[in-house]
Amino acid sequence: MSESDDGFTIECSNCKKPLCEVWKLNAKEGECSTKTVTIVVKCPWCEDKSWSKQTSGRFAFGDTDYTKISTVDAYIDEDGNEHLTLQTGKAKLNEIQ
């Protein structure tokens, strides 16, 4: 999934393997979320991580063919910004170069 209005894929900054998908969801009636969330995903293949990616609104995470989401840790920094760190595990051998 390339970046679109429907969502995007987060890749490792080092080995470029797809780590998770982020799916944009429609806002519920009467809901207006403009809060921006910063997402970082840890890579199980090379032990590095993705670049920080920001999104807003409602969204959900999905596994890729190569990784599965293990845990999601959240924290709010001193400026009130939300940050999510996802840990992924290997789903199958990856043949991506």
Mean pLDDT of 58-72: 93
36 lies in a domain? yes
Per residue in 6-53, pLDDT tens? 899 999 999 999 999 999 887 665 565 667 899 999 999 999 999 999
Q: Which runs of E-coded beta strand occur in 1-97?
A: 7-11, 18-25, 36-42, 53-56, 58-62, 67-76, 82-90
56 lies in a domain? yes
95 lies in a domain? no
1 lies in a domain? no
Q: What is the pLDDT of residue 1?
A: 44
CB distance 11 to 64 below 8 Å: no
Give the Cβ contact number of residue 50 at 10 Å. Answer: 24
pLDDT band, residue 97 (cuts 50/70/90):
very low
13 lies in a domain? yes
Quote the number of domains for the chain.
1
46 lies in a domain? yes
For residues 22 and 79, what is the distance between their CA atoms, to the nearest angstrom?
24
HSE of 88 in the Cβ direction (CA atoms, 13 Å)? 31
Q: Which domain does 67 fall in, by range?
A: 7-90
69 lies in a domain? yes
CB distance 89 to 67 below 8 Å: yes
Per-residue tokens: 19: 């780590």
